[in-house]
Each structure stands twice: as structure tokens, then as C-alpha cells.
Amino acid sequence: MKKRIFSGAQPTGSLHIGNYLGALKNWVALQDEYEAFYCIVNLHAITLPQDPKTLRQKTLDLARIYLAAGVDPEKSTIFIQSDVPEHAELTWVLSCITRMGELERMTQFKDKGKGNTERAGVGLFTYPVLMAADILLYQTDLVPVGQDQKQHLELTRDLAERFNRDFGETFKIPEPYISKAGASIKSLQDPSKKMSKSDDNPNGSIFLLDDADTITKKIKRAVTDSGTAINFDEARPAIANLLSIYQLLTSKTPEECVAHFESKGYGQFKGELAEATTEFLRPFQERIREYDDTTLADILKCGAEKAKHTAAQTLQDVYERVGFRKNPIAKL
């Protein structure tokens, strides 16, 4: 039996190379070795206000991005979260064993609530429980994510252990998979912040759908550090970040990259980085339109059916353990 992985991204904003290098790249690399479920987490998206028409469009766009990045529907299950209602149902049960204090400690809530937690939606507060449900429904072994999700993974493990202890062995305890390289790509405008979809300044991020001109401009404007060396030095985070992006996109080793730029200046470095980024994104962007709408709809329907099959099994076990009777009108 292959081990299982689960991961997801929200259909909001525009995906950037941080999302690709921190998450999607690993999804693609892992899909041969694991049985993979890749979800478009639209229930998560509505924790902040969304325009319904845009959300609907972004949901399909994100499915295309998964496919263009190399997620293969023959190998992996790609589906939309709202097509499998078990996600919302398990969230309720898990909410009842989650402590307020645990959620109050979540740094992403504090960040996204922008300090004004009185006005933040309750969904934003309980969002990590939904994420735990996503993962636990599939008896997941491994969850490939960026560094920013580590705390949510720890909560997921705590909830699974608590449920297993109180109601009997039900959930597999998942492990995070955070690859060192790419786990946290920083903003081009401020290397102390992660590159983020919700950044108000678009110059901080290179989006997967940016054209060559835009990419070149953004990289030219990227902040650098004092000095001239081009190397991986934690004390010079702006250059280290740009060099990591170069390294990950070209698949060279860190030593090769440092040697390559040894006697070169920032101008030339930025020029080569812009070129490497454009070269990398061009074929990706061409693949975005690879599937027509009908084929895409079929892939997502088939994905939802496969996901539902596993999710319904787990939810039925959970309902039974907590003392709900077997649903007389359920199909399973």
C-alpha cells in the first residue's frame, strides 16, 4: 500500500513563485511515490470576504494551475473542497474537542485578523480545525506545505491524538513535509516578510501568470543588501532570497550558484534571475490552457468521487465513535 499525502491551496489572490517553490513543486515530486489528494480549498477561502463570481472563477483557475505545474490527474486526485461535504461535517465534530486557547495561539489568525480580532469572522478563528478535518478525513501520512503551515499541522496532530485517546483509534497521525529549500520565499520588497498573496504591494511577489516584462521590472526593483557578494548569508537576507529563487528554478546546487555569480555584480545577477524566471514560467503559462473546460470538469468530478469515497468512510467511523446512529438514508 502506498502512503498517502494531502495538501491544498486557497483559490484566492494569485499564486506566486513562493506557493510554487514552497508547495506545488513538492506535490509534483511526491505524486509518484505516494497516493496523493490535492484539494482546492474554497471553504477556507470564504474565511475572508470574497466576491462569489470571482471565487467561482478562481477555483477553476487554481485547478488549471495545479495541472500546469505538473500534478497528473492519472496519478493524483484533484478536487474542490465544497464538492465533498464531509470536510465541513468533520470540522464540526473536531471543533467540539478543540480548545479556545489552542486557536488563540495560532499566529496566522493574529496576522490575518490584523490585530482587530473583535471584528474578525469566527470562521477565520476556527479555520485550522477545517484544515485538520481536510487532512484527517484521508488518513493522511504526509502533508507537504510551506513553513507558515507548520503550526496548523501541529494542531492537527494534537486533535487526532485527542480524538483517538477519547473515542478509540480512528485517525492516522500525519507528519508535515516541509522541504528546507523554498519553504519560505520572502517578499522582493521586504525580505523580513514572506511572499504573500495578501500583500498589498504586487512588486513583492512574482505571480505565476506574470509576463516577462513585469517579471524583469519586479526583479530590477527588488531590494538588495549592502555589500557586493552574491551568496547565502543569513545576515544578507535579500540576496540570499533572490539566490534561493535562482537556485530552485534552475535546479543547480547552492555551491554552483555561488560560484557562477562570484565575480558578477547585482545588475548582472538580477538580469540572469529575470531570465531564469521567465524561462521557467513560459512553458508553465502555455500549459494553463492545455485542458478544455469539459475535460477540466471531468477531472474535478472524478476527483471529487474518489475523495468522497475515502472521506465518507472516515466520517462514518467518527460518527459511530461519538455515538451518532448509522444514518438510515446514507448511501454508503
Write out the catalytic residue numbers.
112, 194, 197
Give me the helices (H) in 71-197, please.
86-95, 100-104, 107-112, 122-136, 150-167
How many C-beta atoms surround the C-beta of residue 9 within 10 A? 22
- Return the residues of window 138-157 that contact ligand TRP according to CB under 6 A: 143, 145, 149, 152
Nearer to ligand AMP, 21 or 257 (CB): 21
b/e code 222-236 from CB counts within 10 Å (16+ = b):
bbebeeeebeeeeeb
Among 157, 194, 236, 270, binds ligand AMP (CB under 6 A): 194
- Cβ neighbors of 12 (< 8 A, separation 6 or more) are 45, 48, 50, 55, 58, 197
Among 146, 191, 204, 303, binds ligand AMP (CB under 6 A): 146
The DSSP code sequence of 234-258 is: TTSHHHHHHHHHHHHHHT--HHHHH
CA dihedral 34, 31, 22, 153 (to 10 degrees): -30
Q: Which does 22 bind (CB under 5 to 8 A by kind): ligand AMP, ligand TRP, none?
A: ligand AMP
Q: Which does 185 bind (CB under 5 to 8 A by kind): ligand AMP, ligand TRP, none?
A: ligand AMP
Query: What's the one-letter identity of residue 318?
Result: V
Whether residue 205 contacts residue 16, with contact meaning beta carbons closer than 8 Å, is answered with yes
Which residue(s) pair with 177 in the sheet? 144
Whole-number Å distance between alpha carbons of 79 and 69: 15
Q: Which does 195 bind (CB under 5 to 8 A by kind): ligand TRP, ligand AMP, none?
A: ligand AMP
Nearer to ligand AMP, 136 or 183 (CB): 183
Write down the least CB distance from residue 326 to ligand AMP, Å.
Answer: 36
Nearer to ligand AMP, 139 or 179 (CB): 179
Stretch that binds ligand AMP, among 67-75, 134-142, 182-190, 284-292 (CB under 6 A): 182-190
Whole-number Å distance between alpha carbons of 164 and 275: 51
Q: Which does 19 bind (CB under 5 to 8 A by kind): ligand TRP, ligand AMP, none?
A: ligand AMP
CA proximity to 112, closest of 201, 239, 219, 197: 197
Nearer to ligand AMP, 148 or 320 (CB): 148
Write down the least CB distance from residue 71 to ligand AMP, Å.
Answer: 13
Among 69, 90, 94, 135, binds ligand TRP (CB under 6 A): 135
- Cβ neighbors of 90 (< 8 A, separation 6 or more) are 133, 136, 137, 311, 314, 315, 318
Which residue sits closest to ligand AMP, CB atoms considered?
Answer: 22
- Cβ neighbors of 202 (< 8 A, separation 6 or more) are none
Task: Please give the size of the binding site for ligand TRP, defined by CB under 6 A.
Answer: 14
Among 5, 24, 30, 41, binds ligand TRP (CB under 6 A): 41
Percent helix, strand, coil in the chain, to 5, is 55, 10, 35
Nearer to ligand AMP, 124 or 183 (CB): 183
Write down the least CB distance from residue 271 to ligand TRP, Å.
Answer: 32
Q: Please state the φ and ψ torsions of residue 236, each to the nearest 5 degrees.
A: -125, 70
- Return the residues of window 3-32 that contact ligand TRP according to CB under 6 A: 6-10
By the rule CB under 6 A, 23 interacts with ligand AMP: yes
Stretch that binds ligand AMP, among 31-39, 162-170, 189-197, 281-289 (CB under 6 A): 189-197
Whole-number Å distance between alpha carbons of 144 and 4: 11
Interacting residue ranges for ligand TRP, rule: CB under 6 A: 6-10, 41, 44, 131, 134-135, 143, 145, 149, 152
Interacting residue ranges for ligand AMP, rule: CB under 6 A: 9-10, 18-19, 22-23, 145-146, 148-149, 182-185, 194-195, 197
